Amino acid sequence: MRKPDASLTIGQSLLISVIVLVAFTGFVLFLTFGVTPLTASQETESSTRSFEMLSVVLSLFAGGCMAGYFSFDYSKVGLRHRKVALFISWMFVSSMYLLLSLIMYSLRKAGALQIIDDWAKVMLFFATYAFLNGLILFERWKMGQFKEDEE
């Protein structure tokens, strides 16, 4: 039997979506104006390659976090262990946010985002936003999936 106390309404979904959009837009603006790509004098084959390899390694970590997160099933966790389950799940979500931020930083620093067209940058923005927003909305929805403890 499921506990329906944490249902996600349209109003909550829109509020969460706006909060994620504002936070993500702020981060993109920080990347755009606060992080400068390596200059031509600093840019060497090894430094650019290092940032690209950092992006790859961080992407592997993010993939592992996603695998762990999506294998997490609230319907098998009783209400008694709710706080521990929420802590673990939100650790996965926050690590995916942090890893994605570091990936975007290293790509920006390596200059990899300079070579793509403006329309592709816009699509990258919306695709990343949709992923991050969907992740939070899915987590919020999953929070209502705890099973009732049997006496």
Q: What is the pLDDT of residues 49-105, one digit of tens each?
A: 788 888 889 999 999 988 888 887 777 777 778 888 889 888 999 999 999 999 999
- Single pTM value for the model: 0.80
Give the span between the Cα atoms of 37 and 22, in whole angstroms.
Answer: 24
Distances 19 to 16, 25, 133 between C-alpha atoms, Å: 5, 10, 9
Reported as a single tens digit per residue, the pLDDT across 15-46 is 999 999 999 999 999 999 998 887 777 667 77
The pLDDT assigned to 89 comes to 87
Which tens digit of pLDDT belongs to each residue from 60-76?
999 998 888 888 777 77
Indicate the angle between helix axes 82-110 and 10-34, nearest 10 degrees.
30
Query: Which residues, 6 or more positions from 7, have their beta carbon under 8 angstroms from its beta carbon?
Result: 144
Residues 151 and 143: their CA atoms lie apart, in Å, by: 22
C-alpha–C-alpha distance, residues 140 and 14, integer Å: 12
pLDDT of res. 111: 82
Q: pLDDT by residue (tens digit) across 5-14?
A: 557 789 989 9
Per-residue buried b or exposed e for 26-42, using 16+ beta carbons within 10 Å of the residue's own CB? ebbeebeeeeebeeeee
Average pLDDT, the chain: 85
The count of C-alpha atoms lying within 13 angstroms of the C-alpha of 44, restricted to the half-sphere facing its C-beta, is: 3
Mean pLDDT (whole number) for 109-134? 91
